Amino acid sequence: MRTRTLTLVFLLIASMANAQSTYVRLVTNKGNITLLLYDETPKHRDMFLQTIKKGLYNNAQFNRVIQSFVSQSGELDETILDREKQHPEMPIQRLAAEIKPTLFHKKGALGAGRNDNPEKSSYLTQM
């Protein structure tokens, strides 16, 4: 019994040592949502914070909502892909994947949008 207690305390302390530090409050007409941005994916965290500062999500709407699956906001896939087709000389910028085996999508996870590109890189204007 004593071993279990010490192990539990150790795991609790270890998890606090790896605590995430970046929170974002999303204010909607259905209530507020607090987002936790993983420090283990710094490029995606910083990209999301930069798009917020640029005002991309001010007065934005969720443009894709599928119950029990996804709520998506930002620029539409079709808009991005149409722009890419119209200007093939200017490929759409994407952010390299930061896939970590210890991080996985679970209910409530925030993720960057992407198409079926083989590099699994993310769009810069979707969350």
Q: What is the dihedral of CA 28, 114, 106, 23, to 10 degrees?
A: -50
- Bridge-based pairing of strands 62-66 and 31-37 is unpaired
Give me the pLDDT at residue 19, please: 57
- Helix (H/G/I), strand (E/B), else coil: 75: coil
Closest CA to 74 of 28, 35, 27, 125: 125
Give me the pLDDT at residue 72, please: 82
Give me the pLDDT at residue 20, please: 67
Cα→Cα distances 62→28, 36, 74, 88, Å: 10, 19, 7, 28
Q: Token match 């890189």: residue?
A: 121
pLDDT per residue, tens digit, the chain (127 aa), is: 444 434 444 444 444 445 567 999 988 888 898 988 889 999 989 988 998 898 888 888 887 888 888 888 877 778 888 888 898 888 778 889 998 888 877 777 888 878 788 888 887 777 6
